Amino acid sequence: MQFTTILTLIGFLAGSASLAAQVPGQSASDAVILDMREAFGKNQTQRLTELLPRAQSHVLAPWAAYWELRARLETAKPEEIRRFLSRYAGTYQEDRLRNDWLLLLGKNRDWSRFVVEASSYRMQDDREVRCYVLAMEHSLARVDMAQETKSLWLAQKSSDEGCALAAQLHFASQLLSDQDVWQKVRSALELRRLSAARQAFDMVAPQAGPQWAELTDKPEQFLTRSSLSSQRQTQELVVLALIRLAQSEPQRAAELLTGRWQKHLSPYQRDWAWAAIGMQAAQKLSDDSLGFFANSKLSSMQDEHLAWYARAALRQGDWQRVLSAIEAMSPEGAADSTWVYWRARAMLALPDTQAGQQARQLLQSVAGVRGFYELLTQEELGLAITPPPQPEPLTEAEKAGASDNPGLQRALAAIAIGLRSEGVREWNYSTNLHTPGGMGDRELLAAADLACRHEIWDRCINTSERTKSVMDLTQRFPMPHKQAVLLRSREIGLDPAYVYGLIRQESRFIVDARSGVGASGLMQVMPATARWTAKKIGLTSFQPNQIAERDTNIAIGTGYLKLVLDDFAGSMPMAAAAYNAGPGRPRAWRGQAGSPVMEAAIWAENVPFSETRDYVKKVLANTTIYAALISGQTQSLKGRLGQVGPRASDGTLASKDLP
């Protein structure tokens, strides 16, 4: 889950000195920095300029200078920007401002300045900036960058101007085809990225704008009223309407495709439409999905279609189709540990005696303790799930190198005064291998150790997770608040490893974590859930503001988790899904009476919500590792997963009113 801390301080005054007097332990210079951050958020340019001289001696002075200049970047003179870039050379703030300036230069088509600054841009993590580079190279030198443009454009989640410009230029030069653009429209619409889909639609069919609203808002009406035609644009609009209708009614989309439109579409368009209908049916866990997929060709499907084809086949135990779907994926898609694991399982399940050795080689290629499928693969090979050897202890020199790193110092200082977002970005930049002073494995371990010692647990975990050749599980799976977690878990009969596995995923052990939807604390409890649970577990004096207190948060979070776990008869994967998405959804996802019992790994892979699917797998993997660390004994992820089937027809819910 994503999480943030509250940046706004109650009682914030315009005068920083008076603010400092109100916040115990905060210096006057800290107050200036916080005042500037608030002014930056409100776009108070004059206020930022007034405060900047008072921030010059603070360790976060580069941030203060960045906010002040960024707020007026559109009117700043190039010489002033370059002075900033020179003064703060090598810092995150220098590269961040260059990123911002490149976006502005690209938007203004100022290619002469853009080409100079682009060569010094280090982060290279902004897709829109890269798209402007492609647009620039095509505009100035007619360089054919269509393949990379298409790749970036298809991966674009929002309708940013840079990638749209690069695509438009290559399309105008006929280096991107109509089919490329229609593919973008279809792919974006399937993922419900309507603004990105509309942007591409306007590129390839500008005269059809009035039809967009009907085919997206009333797709069935569009499909039943439109005149039958084999004209290319009409065909493409029909495919879009079928995609849109399938998102709510895949069966009705299939009926209209079969009965009205199929003979008017090209083979490729028919294949895409059937794949889209199959995918939407699979996401609704419909048994009809495999039949819909069967009307399409594997070679016409995108990786997202094939992933849901494989999931639907897993759910129905059709190992041949699982194998066929995975083998049709792109090399990049098939290389994901998810599909390496299920491909090997499919090969072992089919009566091909020659496939056993290849399947074992596939399993060996991903086995380990780095994630859900790596752990499952370890068990599939009969290998124990135990903590790997600890790396050599860090030397004092290695620890000092991390402590003396200016970027890490600024990150710690920012987090210490409540600027977690800025601190996290500075930390990530400072530990990135592609930036000045970028870190190798030993340096990452030292940086993670620094974060652990300062109890910045999210940076401790995330930094340590980036090591390649060594692994320190005590950094990756820390156990802060150990006495409180173990005591409370054992009091109510919960596995403490499960509690730790969930907290690690929910908040990364940040006590004051707060999500965008209002969940709070270590266990990310929603206010309504907190009130309901407090009554259930007997916290009669509970007040809403107490949810931010560590022990209260643990008591309520574990209390709710226990109620959910009991409701799902002890199924850890289903309880994790309920904790993330609410109990009603996993009840529906488990199937109706008469549905087959299946491996919980198959059930988890078929969870329709990508966030919840990822959450369940990570919580169970975390739990298995924590159990190994707590007990010192080998563990079984498969044992914790168990099986999932429909509730007995006469079953009753432990807590019918579970929120």
More confident residue, 6 or 646: 646
Is residue 147 included in any domain, yes or no? no
402 and 524 in a single domain? The answer is no
pTM: 0.93
Q: Which of 471, 503, 522 is where one domain is finished?
A: 471
Cα 583–chain centre separation: 22
454 and 489 in a single domain? The answer is no
CA 101/CA 105 separation, integer angstroms: 6
Total domains in the fold of the chain: 2
CA 268/CA 597 separation, integer angstroms: 37
Q: Other CB atoms closer than 10 Å to residue 427's CB: what's the count?
A: 27
Is residue 15 included in any domain, yes or no? no
Domain containing residue 517: CATH number: 1.10.530.10
Residue 56 φ/ψ, nearest 5 degrees: -65, -30
Is 101 in contact with 69 (CB distance < 8 Å)? no
Residue 222 φ/ψ, nearest 5 degrees: -60, -45
638 and 497 in a single domain? The answer is yes
pLDDT tens digits along 14-38: 333 333 344 556 789 999 999 999 9
Is residue 611 included in any domain, yes or no? yes
Is 181 in contact with 203 (CB distance < 8 Å)? yes
Q: What is the mean pLDDT of residues 379-394?
A: 92
434 and 508 in a single domain? The answer is no
What three-state secondary structure class fits 271? helix
Q: Which of 412, 436, 471 is where one domain is finished?
A: 471
* Partner residues linked to 643 by β-bridges: 599
- 238-250 burial, b at 16+ Cβ within 10 Å, e below that, comes to bbbbbbbbbbebb
**Which span out of 437-446, 558-567, 589-598 was modeled with the highest average pLDDT?**
558-567
Residue 506 designated active-site: yes
Q: Other CB atoms closer than 10 Å to residue 619's CB: what's the count?
A: 26
605 and 626 in a single domain? The answer is yes
Is residue 589 included in any domain, yes or no? yes
Q: What is the mean pLDDT of residues 637-657?
A: 74
Q: Which of 406, 441, 471 is where one domain is finished?
A: 471
Cα 561–chain centre separation: 23
Is residue 538 included in any domain, yes or no? yes
439 and 506 in a single domain? The answer is no
Where in the sequence is the domain holding 568, given as residue range(s)? 482-644
Cα within 13 Å of Cα(359), Cβ side: 20
Is residue 61 included in any domain, yes or no? no
pLDDT tens digits along 186-222: 999 999 999 999 999 999 999 999 999 999 999 999 9
CA 349/CA 346 separation, integer angstroms: 5
Cα 459–chain centre separation: 17
- 150-170 burial, b at 16+ Cβ within 10 Å, e below that, comes to bebbbebeebbbbbbbbbbbb
Return the pLDDT at 131: 96
pLDDT tens digits along 64-85: 999 999 999 999 999 999 999 9
Q: Kindly calculate the radius of gyration of the chain based on its CA atoms and give it in whole angstroms.
A: 27
525 and 504 in a single domain? The answer is yes
Residues near 59 by beta carbon (within 8 Å), at least 6 away in sequence:
409, 410, 413
CA 391/CA 564 separation, integer angstroms: 38
The residue count for the chain: 659
Residue 328 φ/ψ, nearest 5 degrees: -85, -10
448 and 536 in a single domain? The answer is no
**For residues 200, 206, 210 and 215, what is the CA-based torsion angle, rounded to 10 degrees?**
-40
- Residue among 328, 499, 325, 512 at smallest CA distance from 420: 512
Is residue 575 included in any domain, yes or no? yes
What three-state secondary structure class fits 599? strand
pLDDT tens digits along 252-278: 999 999 999 999 999 999 999 999 999
Place of tokens 């503001």: 545
419 and 497 in a single domain? The answer is no
Question: Is pLDDT of 496 > 90?
Answer: yes
532 and 583 in a single domain? The answer is yes
pLDDT category, 655, cuts 50, 70, 90?
A: low
Q: Other CB atoms closer than 10 Å to residue 93's CB: what's the count?
A: 28
Question: Is pLDDT of 13 > 80?
Answer: no
pLDDT tens digits along 537-551: 999 899 999 999 999
Tokens of 587: 């009840």
- Residue among 634, 606, 607, 615 at smallest CA distance from 375: 634
Place of tokens 């199937």: 591
Q: Other CB atoms closer than 10 Å to residue 593's CB: what's the count?
A: 11
Q: What is the mean pLDDT of the chain?
A: 92
pLDDT category, 648, cuts 50, 70, 90?
A: low
Is residue 572 included in any domain, yes or no? yes
Q: Name the catalytic one among 506, 549, 605, 611.
A: 506
CA 313/CA 299 separation, integer angstroms: 17
Return the pLDDT at 23: 53
Residues near 97 by beta carbon (within 8 Å), at least 6 away in sequence:
66, 69, 70, 73, 81, 84, 85
Tokens of 346: 């499919």
Residues near 83 by beta carbon (within 8 Å), at least 6 away in sequence:
none
pLDDT tens digits along 360-374: 999 999 999 999 999
Question: Is pLDDT of 421 > 60?
Answer: yes
Give the DSSP H/E element, type plus range, for residue 180.
Answer: helix 178-190
Residues near 519 by beta carbon (within 8 Å), at least 6 away in sequence:
1, 3, 525, 526
CA 523/CA 460 separation, integer angstroms: 18
Tokens of 63: 């941030």
Q: For residue 40, give Cα distances in angstroms to 69, 104, 230, 499.
A: 10, 18, 55, 39
Place of tokens 């072992």: 348
pLDDT tens digits along 144-171: 999 999 999 998 888 899 999 999 999 9
502 and 609 in a single domain? The answer is yes
Classify residue 107 as exposed, middle or buried by CB count within 10 Å of its CB (0-12, 13-18, 19+).
middle
DSSP per-residue string spanning 213-244: HHHHHSHHHHHHHSPP---HHHHHHHHHHHHH
pLDDT tens digits along 396-414: 999 999 999 999 999 999 9
CA 462/CA 434 separation, integer angstroms: 17
612 and 526 in a single domain? The answer is yes
